[in-house]
Amino acid sequence: MISCNSLALRFSESSSENKFEVLDQTLLPHEEKWLVIESTEQMIEAIKMLRVRGAPLIGVAAALQVAQAALQGFTKTELLKKAQALYEARPTAVNLMNCIDRMKAVIETGADKNKILQTAVDIFNEDVQLCDRIATFGAELIQDGDQILTHCNTGGLATVGVGTALGVILKAHQQGKKIHVWVDETRPLLQGGRLTTWELQKHKIPYTLITDNMAAHLMSEGKISKAIVGSDRIAQNGDFANKIGTYSVAVNCKFHNIPFYVAAPFTTVDFNCVSGKHIPIEQRAASEVISTWAPKDSPVYNPSFDVTPATLTTGWIMDTGVFNHKNIEQGVFRK
């Protein structure tokens, strides 16, 4: 029997059945409901509706669904078609494309269902391991007494390991460092307010929830000593895309002379993307902004991500080490 289990994903395969479930993150923190995934169409819907979210988690979940389809007996041609549909489910997170490219490469060889499944399991296990390495490298940058600002959700709900930016914070907490986390609520869908708080409570890490536009005020009062965020795609020059509002955090950190770090797996680097100007930005539904308080016919601009220039970034915390501006200039993110 093969099984892959994380905070947000459960997959098992045996001689009698295969079962795939994902935690519906749109219902957190008030309800923990697991959705049974039985088709590519279900997985695509879950990804688009942010039931499954976080660049690493999306990639792993999509890879496992391709494996599930192989176990269901679909042909090579059908599997490639399903893989391509998953590849196109969301435009910004390069992890999704990377994972699906690996699955497609194995399918192209004519591999049997067991080989396809093993590739997906390898992708799962690699994510667990790289999250541990990110956390270990990043925790060295955290000092006892640090007040850390986060943006969006970057923990076990965004990966199948301990997370990226939140994994760094968890590791520092486990090391006994007394830290406090300021949590931006973060649009879209208030993923900091709903998800990061939920994870921090589970780990018993002290935190305070704030709206996104309060961060600069706290910085001016000396209440934030570091900011650590995640990323969905990093360009060759170090520019990176993350949830909308990250750019504002970086600008405010620069003005207040506060270290600003991005934590992400090396697989987040897009070697074909020269700079942040070339990163596609997903537009979300107007209804997410209008909600119950604005006129229903209000014009809405609702990008899901923004791009933070490398010039505003103190360091890149990755599973291969911590990189600085000199490393970037030397082409560490180029093949």
**Phi-psi sector, 313: left (phi>0), alpha (psi -120 to 50), beta:** beta
Question: Is the pLDDT reported for residue 292 higher than 90?
Answer: no
pTM assigned to the model: 0.93
Instruction: Please give, one letter per residue, the 3-state secondary structure of 163-174.
Output: CCHHHHHHHHHH
> In the numeric block, which tokens belong to residue 42?
């279900």
- Please tell me the predicted confidence (pLDDT) of residue 68: 97
Catalytic (active-site) positions: 232
Q: What is the mean pLDDT of residues 105-124?
A: 96
Lowest-confidence segment of 124-133, 306-315, 326-335 by average pLDDT: 326-335
Strand order in the sheet with 305-308: 233-234, 240-243, 305-308
Name the one residue in this structure whose structure tokens are 């098992």: 12
β-sheet bridge partners, residue 210: 184
Strand order in the sheet with 2-5: 2-5, 9-13, 18-23, 34-36
Question: What does the alpha-carbon distance between residue 17 and residue 157 come to, in Å, rounded to a whole number?
Answer: 26
Question: Is the pLDDT reported for residue 92 higher than 80?
Answer: no
Which residue, among 280, 278, 281, 266, has the nearest Cα to 334 in the 3D structure? 266
Largest CA-CA distance found in the chain, in angstroms, rounded: 61
Whether residue 184 contacts residue 245, with contact meaning beta carbons closer than 8 Å, is answered with: yes
Question: Is the pLDDT reported for residue 335 higher than 80?
Answer: no
Q: For residue 295, give the amino acid letter.
A: P
Phi, psi of 227, deg, nearest 5: -125, 135
pLDDT digits (tens, 9 = 90+) for 205-251: 999 999 999 999 999 999 999 999 999 999 999 999 999 999 999 99
- Please tell me the predicted confidence (pLDDT) of residue 299: 95
Q: Report CA Rg, the chain.
A: 19
As a whole number of Å, the end-to-end CA separation of the chain is 38
pLDDT digits (tens, 9 = 90+) for 175-188: 999 999 999 999 87
pLDDT digits (tens, 9 = 90+) for 130-171: 999 999 999 999 999 999 999 999 999 999 999 999 999 999
Strand order in the sheet with 226-229: 207-210, 180-184, 147-150, 226-229, 260-263, 315-318, 321-323
pLDDT digits (tens, 9 = 90+) for 246-288: 999 999 999 999 999 999 999 899 999 999 999 999 898 898 8
Strands (DSSP E) along 146-304, which ranges?
147-150, 180-184, 207-210, 226-229, 233-234, 240-243, 260-263
8-state DSSP, 21: E
> In the numeric block, which tokens belong to residue 39?
């088709």
Residue 295, preceding peptide bond in cis (omega within 30° of 0) = no
Lowest-confidence segment of 62-71, 76-85, 153-162, 185-194 by average pLDDT: 185-194
Q: What is the mean pLDDT of residues 1-15?
A: 91
- Domain 136-329, CATH among 2.30.30.100, 3.30.70.1350, 3.40.50.10470, 3.40.50.2000: 3.40.50.10470
Lowest-confidence segment of 14-23, 55-64, 72-81, 170-179 by average pLDDT: 14-23
**pLDDT, averaged across the chain:** 95
> In the numeric block, which tokens belong to residue 80?
């490639």
Helix axes 113-139, 94-108, angle to 10 degrees: 150
Does 1.10.10.10 match the CATH number of domain 2-131? no
So where are the chain's domains? 2-131, 136-329
